Amino acid sequence: MAIESDLDLMLRVRDGDLASFDALLCRYRLPLVSYFRRMVRDQGLAEDLAQEVFLRVYKSRERYQPEARFTTWLYRIATNLALNAIRDRKDEVSDTASDDFDGGRVLERFVDPQPTVEQRLMQGDRERLIRQAVEALPENQRAAVILHKYQEVDYRQIAGILRVSESAVKSLLFRAYETLRVRLEPLLREGRL
């Protein structure tokens, strides 16, 4: 059984097929929650925002026009919601951000299953420093980095999501990665990265 394309599913959603909507929800809920968690640094808000994305997809289903890839449209909605949430919370100082930036899933694939206590302490410190460096980036740079590095979205799609040119995406990523390189240079010198 072939997996149906996002476009086919969304076109059926546009025609009122709720099963296709459920299929899209199942396919993209967790990636969106992960994206939002990295953007807003709050698990509860991330889940609420992911739900809001699907609410907006459903409400606008009858007007959907496949002008870009479905994921470009989906992440454009998500990015706008994330940036609005960040701006709304700018005055709040959040100490509730999870110390586990990537949910631990990426890290588990590369770490020895039996690390020493010293390795665990160093790893936690390294993750915290990387997370803080990414969180300190300007909003558009942070969104571009998270989409590119963690969500594995290509430049063309990021351009569509952020509504900028591909060259602007490359510039955003260059500046972001350069900033991260400078901020994380001590870790590079110490061989901890």
Q: What is the mean pLDDT of the segment spanning 184-190?
A: 77
Number of separate domains in the chain? 2
Which of 112, 50, 96, 111 has its CA nearest to residue 75? 50
| End residue of a domain, out of 75, 98, 121 | 98
Burial class (CB in 10 A: 0-12, 13-18, 19+), 97: middle
Q: In this prediction, what percent of the chain has a pLDDT beyond 90? A: 59
Q: Is the pTM of this model over 0.95?
A: no
pLDDT exceeds cutoff 90 at 114: no
Write out the residue range of the structural domain in which residue 47 sits. 1-98
Q: Is 40:83 a contact under the CB 8 Å cutoff?
A: no
Looking at the structure, tell me whether residues 106 and 193 fall in a common domain.
yes
Looking at the structure, tell me whether residues 88 and 151 fall in a common domain.
no
In the three-class reduction of DSSP (H, G, I as helix; E, B as strand; rest coil), residue 92 is classed as coil
d(CA 174, CA 74): 25
Q: Is 145:134 a contact under the CB 8 Å cutoff?
A: yes
Looking at the structure, tell me whether residues 86 and 120 fall in a common domain.
no
CATH number, domain at 147? 1.10.10.10
Looking at the structure, tell me whether residues 113 and 94 fall in a common domain.
no
